[in-house]
Amino acid sequence: MDYNPKQLKKIATVEPGVYAFTCIDAREKVSQTGYSYMHVKLEIEVPNVADPFTVYDRLSIHPKALWRLEHFCKCVGRDFDIGKLLPEDCIGKTGLAEVVQGKPNDQGKRFLEIGKYIEKSEQTQDKPVEKPTETTEDDIPF
C-alpha cells in the first residue's frame, strides 16, 4: 500500500475555555415532556485554527431550565423580557460562551458543549481564550 505522509492533516484539539460563537441555525422543537425548546447550532471560532467547530445546545422553556434561555438572550443582546423567541431571532447572533467537556454519552465519549453564555455586560475585548494544541490523527483515541 502506497501513501503520501505529507497528506496527514493536523487536527486541532480544542480545549475547554471561552470562545466567540455565531448561531448558524435554530429550530423550535417540542420535548417528549411537552416543553418547547430552541435547538441552536453554534459555530465556535477558535484562534489560530482555520476551521470552526460546531456545538449544539437546547434552550428550553421548562421552568427549571429557563435560566439558560435567559443567559443566551442576554449574551446575544436580545431582550429576554419580551417573552418570545423565534429561530430568526437567533440565527446570525454572536456572543461569547464558556465551552466545557460534557458528560460521557452511552458509548463513553465526551464532547464539548456550552457550559454557560457570557452576558454582554460581562464581555470584554481582552477576554482570555484557550489556545488549541496541534495533534495528528494518530493521537485521536478511536
- Residue 49 or residue 117, greater confidence: 117
pLDDT at 131 over 50: no
Could you tell me the fold of the domain covering 11-127?
Answer: OB fold (Dihydrolipoamide Acetyltransferase, E2P) (2.40.50)
pLDDT at position 4 is 81
- Residue 103 or residue 140, greater confidence: 103
Q: Above pLDDT 70, what percent of the chain?
A: 82
In degrees and rounded to multiples of 5, residue 101 shows phi and psi of: -75, 125
| Of the ranges 2-11, 39-48, 65-74, 115-124, the best mean pLDDT one | 65-74
pLDDT at position 2 is 81
Mean pLDDT score of the chain, rounded to an integer? 84
